Amino acid sequence: MVEDTEKAESKKAAKKEAKKAEKAAKKAEHKVQSGKSEGEAPAEEDVSIGKYGNLPLIKSDPTVLKHTFTYIKDLTKHLTGNTVWVRARLHTSRARGKQCFIVLRQREFTVQVLINVSENVSKAMVKFSSNISKESIIDVEATVVEVPSGVAGCSQSQVELVASQIWIVSASFPQLPLQIEDASRPEKPGEQDSLNIRVNQDTRLDNRVLDLRTATSQAIFRLEAGVCKLFRDILTSKGFVEIHTPKIIPAASEGGANVFTVSYFKGSAYLAQSPQLYKQMAIAADFEKVFTIGAVFRAEDSNTHRHLTEFTGLDLEMAFQYHYHEVMLTIGDLFTNIFKGLRDHYSNEIALVGQQYPAEPFTFLDPPLVLQYTEGRRMLKEAGVEVGEDEDLSTSVEKLLGRLVKFKYDTDFYILDKYPLAVRPFYTMPDPLNPKSSNSYDMFMRGEEILSGAQRIHDRLLLTERAKHHGIDISTIASYIDAFKYGCQPHAGGGIGLERVVMLYLGLDNVRKTSMFPRDPKRVTP
């Protein structure tokens, strides 16, 4: 009896297990047919397939479909309702539920993009958009929508873009060595804000490509290009000819020790400290008025806010009739017109830089103020600072004199004329009325020197005498001296440091901000 009961229970259990197995088999078959793994919900149809993803590497394939792109700066409410394509960097992004907000950036221009789940935009596309790393270059197709209340923090505040396609053109590494927002924060003198991150100078320069993407850097170097353009256009209109001079030379052009020596085949040569000698040779060759824009090298171990070992020189030389002031005042007028050009045509760039680095507006007189060196010494003496008649001005004394001039004459630009002969290069013409003085001048912006110039000696015998006086080996500059053997017009000129001019015009605190890839005694990279 007990045995029969056990058999019945055994059959019952076997039947139960068979039913269970059959049920599991049917369930497995259903999973295979539906293509789903265990525990996964049925797939939601992705309505955005083919509208987002990574673009193939652009290799200039002529068969690839081309779009017409719109610049962010041109996105205004007048385009409301239009569908546009934009290629730009992903500046910032934030996901919120079924939405992702992206800010696109081109130079200093920004616009907000909305990727929103809809009948044409899937959750997968929104998720993809939210995972794109900052600084990636992306293509976006979108509809321009007017935003009456405005979009805070974007240059294109009257509109936003509602995206219908989004493609990665070139992805950025997700980990950035500096954040563009941090590198763009306003810096006010004396401000201590522990809540906001400040990017230090070395971090900026070590990652210069990223730092140059800030709106401020973009504005600085567009204004710097403006200085070069104005310099070139103004002088060309005055009859000057642009020339290009050697940067590898046989002897130190300034007669000093601060020169870079380079290996030159079986011998040595030097990197030019100035195009000075070649400008003068061009005058001797009857070009009459010349200018050049190019690299200048100074092997000075000066780790200051205004010194670089390589900078861009704006140099000019001009023949005159009777007095070197014909040239000096031409240069003064050149600066006045550059300042006017920057004021009138680069106001947006000036304002952008001022937002991050506040400074007093640059002031100047027309015509510019000209002071004698003796007058400058007198003003300094009245302020309690003595400068010898054969002494040059130190940096701190120059700044003090700049403040005194600003207070008395309300100008940030002025010319100081008749420097002591002892502190000028060997080719400087001595003053005919005072053997201790010279026909030379410096020009200043905000109390710092930005140009050094003079009448040059155009007589071969006097030039040879002055070179020997400075201890220069005549054989190393023989070709320069020989240029005056066959007659040369009296002439004068000057050399300008481009980066220093831009730094001082904008009221910045360091010349490295105005040098795209600065070189100084401690930096030769990137």
Active site residues: 298, 300, 306-307, 449, 452, 500
CB 188 within 8 A of CB 358: yes
Question: What is the spatial distance between Cα 135 and Cα 404, in angstroms, rounded to a whole number?
Answer: 47
Which residues of 108-192 form beta strands (DSSP E)?
A: 109-116, 137-146, 159-170
78 phi and psi, to 5 degrees? Answer: -70, -15
**Tokens 């992306």 label which residue?**
138
Query: Burial letters for 191-229: b for 16+ Cβ neighbours within 10 Å, e otherwise?
Result: eeeeeeeebeeeebbebbebbbbbbbbbbbbebbebbee
- DSSP reduced 3-state for 399: helix
Please provide residue 112's backbone torsions phi and psi, each rounded to the nearest 5 degrees. -90, 140
Tally of CB atoms within 10 A around 389: 12
**Distance between CA atoms of residues 314 and 497, nearest Å:** 6
226, two tokens: 């403006």
Work out the number of other CB atoms within 10 angstroms of the CB of residue 365: 15
Q: Position 84: which residue type?
A: V
Q: Which has the closest alpha carbon to 132: 94, 86, 180?
A: 94
Residue among 12, 8, 472 at smallest CA distance from 253: 472
Neighbouring residues of 174: CB distance < 8 A, sequence distance ≥ 6: 133, 134
CA distance 311 to 492: 22
Quick one: tokens of 16? 């139960």
Pair 453, 441: CB distance under 8 Å: yes
Q: Concatenated DSSP letters for 462-518?
A: HHHHHHHHTT--GGGGHHHHHTTTT----EEEEEEEHHHHHHHHHT-S-GGGG-SS-
- CA distances to 11, 25, 39, 40, 321 from 20, rounded to whole Å, are 14, 9, 19, 22, 114
